Amino acid sequence: MKNSRTLIVANWKMNMNVSQSSILLHRLHERIRIRREIELVLAPSMLALQPLSMQIDRRKFRLCAQNAYFVDEGPFTGEVSFSMLQDLVHYCIVGHSDRRHKFGESLEVVRDKVAASVRNDIMPILCVGETAQERKAKETNQVLHDQVVTALSNLTSSDIPNIVIAYEPVWALSAGSDYAHHEIATPEIIANAIKVIRHNIAELYGKKAAADVRVLYGGSASSTTARGILETEGVDGLLVGGASLNYQEFSGIIDAAYRMQTSSEVNNG
In percent, the amount of the chain with pLDDT more than 70 equals: 94
Longest CA–CA span in the chain (Å) reads 56
pLDDT tens digits for 253-264? 999 998 887 776
pLDDT tens digits for 34-44? 888 999 999 99
CATH fold for domain 6-268: TIM Barrel (3.20.20)
Average pLDDT along the chain: 92
- Rounded (10°) CA dihedral 240, 243, 244, 249: -120
Binning pLDDT at 50, 70 and 90, where does residue 146 land?
A: very high
Give the pLDDT score at 4. Answer: 82
**Is pLDDT of 178 > 60?**
no
Give the pLDDT score at 182. Answer: 55
More confident residue, 266 or 199: 199
Q: How many CA atoms lie within 13 A of 235 on its CB side?
A: 29
The residues carrying an active-site annotation are 96, 168
